[in-house]
Structure 1
Amino acid sequence: MRRHPFPIVLLLLGLLGVFGCSDSSGPSGPPNDGPVPTTLSAVEGEGLQALAGTILPMGPTVQLKDQNGQVMSDRIVTFQVMEGGGTAVIPSLATDSQGWARSMWILGTTAGSTQRLRASVGCLSVEFQAEVVQPVLGQKYSSRGGYADYYAGNLPLVLTAPHGGSLLPTEIPDRSWGTTGQDRNTVELILRVRDAIYQRTGAYPHVIYSNLHRIKLDPNREIVEAAQDDPESERAWWEYHTFADRARDLVEAAFGEGFYIDLHGHGHEIPRLELGYLLSATTLSLADEFLNSPNYVNGSSVKVLAGKPGATLVQIIRGPQALGTLLEARGLPAVPSQSQHSPGNDPYFNGGYSTVRHGSRDTGKVSGVQIECNFGGVRDTAENRQAFAEALADALLAYFPVHFGMELAAAPLAIRSP
């Protein structure tokens, strides 16, 4: 299989031109019509770096002024990608009281391509440009404000932790509805897992985590509940998920398939790991012959993995080499597993927005699972976090050859080293 390099975008954003609406030196239009849009200029988003396929961390932001140099509010600015792929998340919006309009730009992913975006008001326009360079293995890439971090990897494995952050920036208001509790120590936990996997393989998983407290942002919800109409929170949501989207795309490009784990913490009474495959407790209570039916396979976050020749959903989620079974063999009770097929009537988390988006139920070839970790015995002390990390790393080393037909190892030339 051909291995592809992991592109990063080095943004060389600059004002390429401000174009007027007239060949004359004065403002266009009748002289007595009041304020006329005359100058559109870039005010934010220059000289930045960002990963290909992810959100530009600042801007692109423009400011609109009239013929007298006064800012103009409530005028519609359009943002359009002109070259290189990518998407303007907010294609049009009105200028604010400062005359500013700020969109969000998801950059294209084609290595070597020129990236251009144009902001326009009528016949006024300003352009931003980006170029593609290569990444450094293991380097940490942070979003604006450090609200999300991404460690680039070279394994067919993506790990995320959405609820362990503690930042409480005043620029983001508190969320007024939905769950706001923090999953304590899950950022520390995911970094322990990263290190344990590296110690065993000499390679890194892709790791993404949110540093924002959940009262500010919930990345494991769709954007309406997650950010609740706050623009800074919405930007942080997009930054987090485009990091994860990009990591998954890179895994597919290098390996053809892979695995995704969304790491959480639960407060349920029973001290065990809860593995969520987007299947309810009622579904997990079904007999094997029913659970293996296409209806349940296609509704699971491991749809692609369970659809491989010779594979079954039951074997993947509660067979002798299922992830839950492998974790139990290493001293961590888990459901579902070979010994615990279903949680029955006990509280159980079966997966959320991230498992839907980044697993294989709806798209792609990266299958996934949400792992909810109990606090006592797993997340509570540094010693227990280390023990969990080592157990999960060892379980994954056993899991990959059985279910993916490959070792958990790096792709040759998958990413540039320092």
Structure 2
Amino acid sequence: MYQRGQHVMRVDGPSYSTQTISSGNTGKTEARESSESNVVREEGAPGAQGPDSTSRFDDAPAAHRERLLPPPPPPPPAPAPEPWPVPEKNLKRGDSGEEVKLLQDALVELGYLTHEQVATGPGLFGPQTEAALEKFQGDRGLTAHGRYEPATREALSKSLAGSERTGGKTQQPSMSAEAAFITQFTSEYNPDGPRGSTNCGPASLAMSLAYTGHMPPGLTKEQQVDHARALMSPRRASEFTEVTASDGTRVPLLDRDHELTGGTMVSDGIQGAGLTSRYGQGWESLDQQLAAGNPVIANGATNTDWRAQFPERMGRGDIGHLNAILAKTPDGKYLVADPLHTGGPVAMTRQQLSVFFSPTGGQPSFNALQGASRGAGTGATAGASAGASAGSTVARLLDEAAARVPPFKPEPFTLPAMGVGVANVAG
């Protein structure tokens, strides 16, 4: 989280009544977020001093939306899914028929089309289907020509192999959003958390992984945050510590609560969990990812209007921020998990959520956890083993894995210059 000018941000858990804010351990650093590469750089600058370095909560505002209640227990496991059918013949723009509809259904399942887009031309290979197929081909390292041919057929079959047939619905989450929720500071949602941190990025990634079953089992909330930070920092394996998950796997941790999330860290963390990081912009792209069961880590900022929407306490201050958007609810709202909120996840309309994206004109900007909807499987194993040894062998393996991933595409938008604030609980 970030502090603008002399304005400060403070948060607390429900058991504390007094909060203070500092701009770091020295009080003399300010951060600026690059407008081109999203890299956070620290620069020497006066920190907040005197009365302006403390803040208090306003009285909790009236709830503007419902709190989410835990869902009922999940149904019994479904029988093993049948293979997803794919078209057998070659297809191109201008074709029509049942084979095209099969292709469209497969692209919906993988998050490249929405049901609404298909409804405008079911069975018609038009520009939207062509564009979606080009995106799929590019993501799989194929020539993005937009034609359905043997190489694309094989890649599509492999991509669908782990997907459950659920009658057009995405796979159910591994746990409720309430159970997955984590604050970036000490609270009922993170009892072992730090008094203050800049953990909005790691906490958001940890919630997304836990929600979809890609978090090693048996970790405390704070261990989940530290594991997410380790995944986000693959080239710092020599600094990792380890714990053993309840399934016996060794899990790397990186306890750096006051370090910023910048550069490619979000993308690295998603990839470190065995998933694909896909940068997206706009509501249509966001809805496609959520429809496919893929949570996203959203880039935005908090302000008075944003904080006023939450049913329980949020801190003061205008700050750049990251949070998790886990899914859409049955009535079409967005399931938002903001690690600064003391009251857990909330459901928001598009208009309400657009307030968070004020730096980008109300349009979403995010990194999606593509492939998260497939369940834990190899993803949790990859995440647990990514830093199993802190030696040079692991660092080498991580570098080799990173080399196989397409280069990160910098976010093409400009964020305002902001400082860095750390939320602390007074003793």
TM-score in same-fold range (> 0.5): no
Greater helix fraction, Structure 1 or Structure 2: 2
**Highest CA radius of gyration, 1 or 2?**
1
Q: Which has the higher strand share?
A: 1
Q: Please report the TM-score for the alignment, with normalisation by the length of structure 2.
A: 0.24
Q: TM-score, normalised by structure 1?
A: 0.25
More RCO (CA 8 Å, sep 6+): 2
